[in-house]
């Protein structure tokens, strides 16, 4: 267990490491609302753990008024958390944030409904969450993850990954680019529509070939599309054949 003084020194050092705009110790101590919000949370969390929930919420709301950052007293924050600018940042009651995490303005670690119990994200160590990103629900974000600005993350993210988009999908894992060949990996509501269109395109292509051969008075050459005509072909394979060809 580190002392409050040591925690303050770590937090200030983290600002100098993470923000090239940091000029002096006095500036950091007075002009960085992210620091003030984290320090106020230390008191709020202590009050919360000791059953003084009203005082804890009162202190957190006062800190919110001063900083524009809302951290529920029940949230668990790790060491050296850096909230850059911070305005509009929200951290929910059951959220757990690891060490050496950076959150930019407008980040939300929120829930997805009215369920009880653990309903907010667990964020690992050395994680960076871009401006406006939303991490929602009882999900786990592994160590060394980068979340792109504006992303909406609804599923757990493995360690050493980069995730972007709405809804969020992994584009880098362990330093290697992830190529998405199945639209269901994105969990986009449009994925089913894309798969259906790919299947209809495949069916139209087969009909066109059949009618072309009939018009020429020849037997249809089923060998041309024999692989695609197998009954066990999956919608994902149709997507790869008929849709990915049009990607830039």
DSSP code for 145: -
For the beta carbon of residue 136, count every other beta carbon within 10 angstroms.
Answer: 21
State the number of CA atoms in the 13 A half-sphere of 121 facing the CB: 25
Cα dihedral sign for 123, 124, 129, 133? negative
Of 4-18, 118-132, 188-202, the one with minimum mean pLDDT is 188-202
Q: Which position has the token pair 């829930």?
A: 111
Of 37-51, 59-73, 212-226, the one with minimum mean pLDDT is 212-226
Cα dihedral sign for 192, 193, 194, 198? positive
pLDDT tens figures, 122-153 = 999 999 999 999 999 999 999 999 999 999 99
Quote the tokens at residue 176: 């290697």
Which pLDDT score is estimated for 81?
92
Q: 235-242 and 191-215 helices cross at what angle (nearest 10)? A: 70
Whole-structure pTM value = 0.70
Name the CATH code of domain 4-178 (choices 2.160.10.10, 3.40.50.1100, 3.30.450.90, 3.30.565.10). Answer: 2.160.10.10
> DSSP letters along 199-244, please?
HHHHHHHHHHHHHHHHHTT----TTTTTTTT-TT--HHHHHHHHTG
Distance, CA of 125 to CA of 22 (rounded, Å): 23
Which pLDDT score is estimated for 207?
84
Task: Compute the average pLDDT of residues 4-32.
Answer: 87
pLDDT band at 104 (very low <50, low <70, confident <90, very high): very high
Cβ–Cβ under 8 Å, residues 78 and 110: no
């Amino acid at each position: 267990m580190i002392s409050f003084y040591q925690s303050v020194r770590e937090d200030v050092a983290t600002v100098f490491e993470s923000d090239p705009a940091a000029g002096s110790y006095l500036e950091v101590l007075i002009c960085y609302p992210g620091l003030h919000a984290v320090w106020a949370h230390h008191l709020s969390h202590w009050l919360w753990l000791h059953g003084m929930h009203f005082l804890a919420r009162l202190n957190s709301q006062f800190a919110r008024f001063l900083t524009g950052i809302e951290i529920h007293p029940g949230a668990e924050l790790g060491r050296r958390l850096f909230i850059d600018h911070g305005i509009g940042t929200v951290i929910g009651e059951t959220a757990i944030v690891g060490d050496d995490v950076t959150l930019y303005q407008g980040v939300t670690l929120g829930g997805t409904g009215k369920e009880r119990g653990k309903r907010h994200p667990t964020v690992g160590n050395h994680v960076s969450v871009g401006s406006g990103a939303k991490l929602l629900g009882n999900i786990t974000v592994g160590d060394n993850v980068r979340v792109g600005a504006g992303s909406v993350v609804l599923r757990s993210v493995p360690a050493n990954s980069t995730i972007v988009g709405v809804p969020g999908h992994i584009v880098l894992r362990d330093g290697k680019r992830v190529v998405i060949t199945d639209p269901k990996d994105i969990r986009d509501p449009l994925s089913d529509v894309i798969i259906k269109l790919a299947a209809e395109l495949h069916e139209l292509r087969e009909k066109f070939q059949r009618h072309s051969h009939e018009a020429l008075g020849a037997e249809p050459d089923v060998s041309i599309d024999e692989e695609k005509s197998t009954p066990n072909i999956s919608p994902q394979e149709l997507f790869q054949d008929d849709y990915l060809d049009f990607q830039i």
